[in-house]
Amino acid sequence: MDKNFYITTPIYYPSAKPHMGHAYSSIIADFFARFKRIDDFNVNFLTGTDEHGLKIQRAAEKKNIEPLKFCNEISQTFRNLSKILNLTNTDFIRTTEDRHKLSVQSLWSELKKNDDIYLSKYSGWYSVSDEAFYNDDEVEEIDGKKQAKLSKSFVEWMDEESYFFRLSKWQKPLLDYYNKNPEFISPQARKNEVISFVKNGLKDLSVSRKSFSWGIKVPEDDNHVIYVWLDALTNYLSALNYPDKSDILYKNFWPASIHLIGKDILRFHAVYWPAFLLAAKIPLPKKIYSHGWILSGEEKMSKSKGNILDPIDIIDKYGLDPLRYYLIKEVSFGNDGNISQDKLEDCINSDLANNFGNLCQRVTAFTIKNCKGKIPSEINFEKSDLKLLDKFDLNLIREKIDNQDVNFYIDFIVNSLFETNKYFNDQEPWKKKDNLVRLNTIVYTTLEIVRRISFMLYPIIPESALKALQIFKISEKEIKFSTLSNNNYLKAESNINMIDILFKKIEKKND
Ligand code: MSP
């Protein structure tokens, strides 16, 4: 079995500082990366910034700063955000780096060599905000201004000499590929969208620009810069040192296990990217997963709409783990999700403070008082204990994660916490002082479940799960799913430790 796992986030435009939508993509990617790591995978996790193109050039001009200087500053805020979000990315790529330029130009030369690129002229609509070309039927006029129907961003007419990629030639191979690899695009609804777009016919794609200079030069034609999406998508390969296919990173991690993206950039990832790769005879990534949007009100959060929720403000107010938990739990994965501080506070109070934090405190305090602070040894499992313990079917959990069923995962945790709290209450160990074996067994079972749930929570709320695992003095590198398999339970007679309160309850104004 291949134990290498390569996950990527989109690379972010450093045209403005990061917002909650960016934080969301990154946190979800970190969740998968951490899950795989504690399941003994060798994980490569890439994020970074997408720094070329007219959008960035104009943003820099507006501020009267050189594009590179402009990017240096904002790219750094994305790098800082990775630390603030406690991401475990193994690399951070910038498209202005030499390693990336080399990869992009190599990929271009490969496409040119295979006769997939030719010189012609582009006349049509272009959205700088989306960095995308649109057909007439994808554009509408509102208040005298032309805009893209889907993204509502303004388009401008473009008329210039351009190199083209023979996208039309790849229509059938792409459809065959989707057909033979039903897992390639997920969720299903997005896959259907892509297939119907491709079935409608593909026109050759303009892949260079002549009217501005902020980009990677076309090899052997200095007058053109490479289209920013061909440039940007290649980041997934340049971080593995492509074109050196003998490089250990490339050998271990290509094809990528999963490109995690938002639904607005699906066409680039599920149509253009695989077509470029097919043309360059490079294997395709195993999966493109497109998540929904974080909405503010009914609209996508974005700079141009001015409805941004700043992740740093939320973290300053509530802490990082509550935000991570909330985004993973409340935004049903694959769909859009509306977020609010009110719901975040409910989540902290009920799930984190009451259900998880309280359970940890309660069972630890009880063990210290009634079991000499040790994991009890004289135990005898009954049906009610085994019913709880047997629920942790690791193979099922792994299978769900391999299908990106984050919703199953979080529901599993929430239900387990609910059932374990109920079990501890119903079993009333405090009334079992004349039946020590029973008292011990209830304590043992509850502690073991706390360990299991903390392991499962670690990819979501790493800092808090680690604090909880201090009950057993389990360190970060000892968090391994393999230690939960085959009835591998807690070692009896080891000491346990009291821990600080994990989550403070928020006093709500209307409480
Ligand atoms: N630079 C391109 C991606 C190139 S990848 C080879 C880009 N950048 S972006 O900064 O505009 O967006 C990056 C990601 O953030 C996208 O996946 C996008 O879907 C996601 N989000 C931006 N706003 C979002 C929300 N409001 N909600 C959730 N994710 C959204 O596109």
Residue 138: how many CA atoms within 13 Å on its side-chain side?
16
Q: Quote the pLDDT of residue 310.
A: 86
CA distance 135 to 249: 39
Q: Which of 291-305, 349-363, 436-450 has the lowest mean pLDDT?
A: 291-305
CA of 359 to the centre of ligand 1 (A): 38
The Cα 20–Cα 309 span in angstroms is 6
Q: Which of 20, 50, 94 to mutate to test the pocket of ligand 1 (most atoms within 8 A of CB)?
A: 50
Sequence-separated (6 or more) residues with CB below 8 Å from residue 409: 397, 400, 401, 456
Q: Measuring from atom 22 of ligand 1, which residue has the nearest CA? A: 21
Distance between Cα 11 and ligand 1 center (Å)? 8
User: Which of the listed residues 75, 104, 261, 328 should we mutate to test ligand 1's pocket, taking the one with most ligand atoms within 8 A of CB?
Assistant: 261
Query: How sure is the predictor about 262, in pLDDT bands with cuts at 50, 70 and 90?
Result: very high
User: How many A from CA of 10 to the centre of ligand 1?
Assistant: 7
Going by CA atoms, what residue is nearest to atom 6 of ligand 1?
Answer: 233
Q: Beta partners for 299?
A: 296
> Is the beta carbon of 262 within 6 A of some atom in ligand 1?
yes
38 CA → ligand 1 middle, Å: 28
Q: Residue 269: its pLDDT value, please?
A: 98
In the structure, what pLDDT confidence band is assigned to residue 368 with cuts at 50, 70 and 90? Answer: very high
- What mean pLDDT is predicted for residues 72-77? 96
User: Which one is predicted more confidently, 311 or 17?
Assistant: 311
Question: What was the pLDDT predicted at 304?
Answer: 63
Residue 23, pLDDT > 60, answer yes
Which pTM value belongs to this model?
0.95
**Spacing, Cα 263 to ligand 1 middle (Å):** 9
Q: What is the mean pLDDT of residues 86-90?
A: 98
The beta-carbon contacts of 129-137 under 8 Å, at least 24 apart in sequence, are 129/55, 129/153, 129/154, 129/304, 130/264, 131/53, 131/54, 131/55, 131/228, 131/229, 132/229, 132/268, 133/158, 133/205, 133/206, 135/203
Assess whether pLDDT exceeds 70 at residue 280: yes
What pLDDT, on the 0 to 100 scale, is given for residue 154? 94
- Cα 21 to middle of ligand 1, angstroms: 7
Give 248-260 pLDDT, tens digit per residue.
Answer: 999 999 999 999 9
Tens of pLDDT along 167-199?
Answer: 999 999 999 999 999 999 999 999 999 999 999
For the chain, the average pLDDT equals 95
Confidence band, pLDDT 50/70/90 cuts, at residue 511: low
Domain boundaries, the chain: 341-483
Q: Which residue has a Cα nearest atom 30 of ligand 1? A: 21
Residue with the smallest CA separation from ligand 1 atom 16 is: 262
Report pLDDT for 307.
63
Q: Which of 29-33, 294-298, 403-407 has the lowest mean pLDDT?
A: 294-298
Transcribe 343-398 into DSSP letters.
HHHHHIIIIIIIIIIHHHHHHHHHHHHHSTTB--------HHHHHHHTT--HHHHH
Pairwise CA distance, residues 283 & 504, whole Å: 49
- Give residue 379's pLDDT: 96
Per-residue pLDDT at 113 exceeds 90: yes
Give mean pLDDT, residues 95-120: 98
Q: What is the pLDDT of residue 180?
A: 98
Query: Which CA distances in Å does 154 have to 124, 141, 145, 296, 304?
Result: 13, 10, 7, 21, 11
Cis bond upstream, residue 311 (ω within 30): no
Q: How far apart are the first and last CA of the chain?
A: 53
Determine the pLDDT at residue 339.
Answer: 84
Query: How distant, in Å, are the alpha carbons of 179, 195, 249 from that of 263?
Result: 21, 15, 28
- pLDDT value, residue 308: 65
**Tokens at 242, concatenated:** 């492509």
CB of 21 closer than 6 A to ligand 1? yes
Question: For residue 342, what pLDDT is reported?
Answer: 87
What's the pLDDT score for residue 353? Answer: 97
Can you point out the beta strands (E) in 26-155?
Answer: 42-49, 91-94, 117-127, 132-134, 139-142, 145-148
Residue 373 has pLDDT above 70, yes or no: yes
Tell how far the Cα of 22 is from the centroid of ligand 1, in angstroms: 6
| Predicted local confidence at residue 306, as pLDDT | 63
Does residue 27 register a pLDDT over 70? yes
As a whole number, mean pLDDT of residues 424-438 equals 97
Please determine, for residue 341, whether its predicted confidence score (pLDDT) is greater than 90.
no
221-251 pLDDT per residue, tens: 999 999 999 999 999 999 999 999 999 999 9
**pLDDT score recorded for residue 279:** 98
Task: From 213, 232, 204, 28, select the one nearest 130 (Cα to Cα).
Answer: 232
Choice among 4-18, 218-232, 334-348 with the minimum mean pLDDT: 334-348
Ligand 1 atom at minimal distance to the Cα of residue 273: 6
Q: Domain spanning 341-483: which CATH class is it, in words?
A: mainly alpha
Q: Would the pLDDT of 301 be above 90?
A: no
Closest Cα to atom 18 of ligand 1:
262
